[in-house]
Structure 1
């Protein structure tokens, strides 16, 4: 028995040593495997996004560690710079893997990853403000509300409280967006007039909701009712939610609406990206991203795509 325990102890020690070496190599040195490196980057990207972790769902049971259910992404100018630095770092690491040391499939994977990173880096360096954070289809003011009403789970009191925590971050998230919008304004980039019209209408409609009709409140009240909580707990949660709506959500929407009205006179009278600064080059890059070719717009049109 003692001999067994001795060898068992050696085996555990060996496995721990190998695990430490593997993780150290993966996170602090050039990884031995290209596949493992890319897998690590995907995992880290998910871990960096509270929304992505919520979408996955499988880590919700560890929320007491991650606290992701109480967070939302807050992206400002500093985050754009950090993303660019990280993209260059990942590209440099990928290029350090010699093609001769990779399998045929790994070479294909490397080529695709480098292609995507080159496009990401070029867009971040040359066209950091050519996308519109506020738009009528996928603007942050729509995505955040949809995420909260459709994705954030409320299966217990803790998740209900986390829902409120997230609402209390709406104003911070929108302030981060305003940093990007202000930089976009300095670059002379504005959405088309029809985008202004739609977004102003959407923001105004949200701010004009009666308390009981607000979708963030309506969904919350319905979901906690399904939990069959005692009256005092339910009332306490709804009161905290109403406070978050008044002190964070509505002021955040108000900031965005104010910016849209302030910049409305500068709305782009044209609809195409060609009208933006260096718009033709930006359009060419987007064609490259979506077609994975270097074809010009005219060449693609002539093909019949």
Structure 2
């Protein structure tokens, strides 16, 4: 993958052609201006590329997401998982700080409108990452529950080497979880413990994963499906599947059990009940930062609350003003579920595909269709969840009934 293709894919910012006004200009002046503009653009592109490389270079799972096998400054190791140690997080934060300083010092006056947009996106992303670097951040708890479908969906199994590397990478899951347990214990010593309600949800998720039979996990079923398409020697295929089952038992499911035990036997005893993140040191500031990242605005929590109240009142007023016939029609169209939901998602994806070229360069548009399947996620609760990962849980109600949108294997 070329340098700028990587940047474009990360920022999803389609480069637009610049239409130069024609006129009776002196040839040397035109050549000089074009040369200057070209080199300024190259300088900016190099800086953005540096940000992309720094963001991805130590994050194997992000590289897997973006399909980065090899690019300037990056080489994907198919046997590694992303680290969750304190040192890993500090390094990423230090990198973000240095890159933001460099970006902020850049002279934006010489940027084209399109490059200025790229600049703003990159700057916003770095600031968001820094704002969320906090002992209060509990994203890793949830990301670990999402790991099985994320990894299984995106890991390419194209040959025997891929099949072996897949298992080698999962052998590292126990180390990844051990790092995370050390990290949350370090936070605990400083007084940072998630709320009781949150920990109970995570405990339920980890317990379900611990009790899942290895042959029933998506890490095995999807591997088996992909492996069949490689058409290896039957004896080798059986050997790999047996090895994967052992890895899942020894390194993955056992690790989820250790997470569950850590919560049940330790963390939850110190967790507050019915108190939000505001009750912890720096909680109000973190909540405001988190809200800004989620909404993409500078609105305060109170302003967001008042806005939501107004919208809720408008919706209630509209519902109450409906005629009996309209109310019956609304009642006859409940939320979709099951096969109807899958069909609806597939239909919307088909419509969206027709317009991809309006927003993205052709080289960024995959030639494979998006695969929509149902997958049981070990997470309970009445929530609506949109994942930042390359699969998306869609719907309402019990989370275990969600549908998963699988992006095509790279």
Contact 2:157 2:163 in 1 (8 A): yes
Q: Write the mapping of 1:224-239 to structure 2, written as runs, cut at 5 A.
A: 224-239=227-242
Contact 1:192 1:268 in 2 (8 A): yes
Q: Which residue of 2 aligns with 1:302?
A: 306
Matched, 1:151 2:121: no
Match of 1:170 among 165, 170, 173: 173
Q: Which residue of 1 aligns with 2:50?
A: 40
TM-score by length of 1: 0.75
Q: Which residue of 1 aligns with 2:244?
A: 241
Distance 2:226 2:65 in 1: 18
Match of 2:225 among 222, 226, 231: 222
Identify if the C-alpha distance between structure 1 residues 242 and 38 changes in structure 2 by more than 3 Å, giving closer, same or farther: same
Q: 1:78, CA displacement in angstroms?
A: 0.5
Contact 1:129 1:180 in 2 (8 A): no
Contact 1:134 1:199 in 2 (8 A): no
Q: 1:160, CA displacement in angstroms?
A: 0.9
Q: 1:271, CA displacement in angstroms?
A: 5.0
Identify if the C-alpha distance between structure 1 residues 113 and 67 changes in structure 2 by more than 3 Å, giving closer, same or farther: closer
SS where residue 33 of structure 1 aligns? helix
Identify if the C-alpha distance between structure 1 residues 254 and 222 changes in structure 2 by more than 3 Å, giving closer, same or farther: same
Higher helix proportion, which one? 1
Q: 1:285, CA displacement in angstroms?
A: 2.0
Contact 1:133 1:177 in 2 (8 A): no
Q: In terms of mean alpha carbon deviation, does 109-118 or 235-244 score higher?
A: 109-118
Distance 2:127 2:64 in 1: 29
Highest relative contact order (Cα 8 Å, sep 6+), 1 or 2? 1
Match of 1:81 among 79, 90, 95: 90
Q: Which residue of 1 aligns with 2:136?
A: 130
Distance 2:121 2:222 in 1: 42
Match of 1:186 among 178, 186, 189: 189
Matched, 1:270 2:270: no
Residues matched between the structures, number: 268
Contact 2:59 2:83 in 1 (8 A): no
Q: Which residue of 2 aligns with 1:91?
A: 100
Q: 1:102, CA displacement in angstroms?
A: 4.2
SS where residue 78 of structure 2 aligns? helix
Q: Which residue of 1 aligns with 2:209?
A: 206
Identify if the C-alpha distance between structure 1 residues 101 and 263 changes in structure 2 by more than 3 Å, giving closer, same or farther: same
TM-score by length of 2: 0.57
Identify if the C-alpha distance between structure 1 residues 249 and 290 changes in structure 2 by more than 3 Å, giving closer, same or farther: closer
Q: 1:82, CA displacement in angstroms?
A: 0.9
Distance 1:32 1:95 in 2: 18
Identify if the C-alpha distance between structure 1 residues 156 and 94 changes in structure 2 by more than 3 Å, giving closer, same or farther: same
Identify if the C-alpha distance between structure 1 residues 273 and 55 changes in structure 2 by more than 3 Å, giving closer, same or farther: same
Q: 1:168, CA displacement in angstroms?
A: 0.4
Q: 1:108, CA displacement in angstroms?
A: 5.4
Identify if the C-alpha distance between structure 1 residues 129 and 230 changes in structure 2 by more than 3 Å, giving closer, same or farther: same
Unaligned runs of 5+ in 2: 1-38, 312-410
Contact 1:148 1:216 in 2 (8 A): yes
Identify if the C-alpha distance between structure 1 residues 289 and 141 changes in structure 2 by more than 3 Å, giving closer, same or farther: closer
What does the per-residue CA deviation read over 1:143-165, in whole Å, with 9 as the maximum and x for residues that have no partner? 22112322212222111111101
Matched, 1:259 2:265: no
Identify if the C-alpha distance between structure 1 residues 214 and 110 changes in structure 2 by more than 3 Å, giving closer, same or farther: closer
Q: Which residue of 1 aligns with 2:80?
A: 71
Distance 1:113 1:148 in 2: 26
Q: Which residue of 2 aligns with 1:15?
A: none
Identify if the C-alpha distance between structure 1 residues 287 and 221 changes in structure 2 by more than 3 Å, giving closer, same or farther: closer
Q: Which residue of 2 aligns with 1:279?
A: 283
RMSD: 3.1
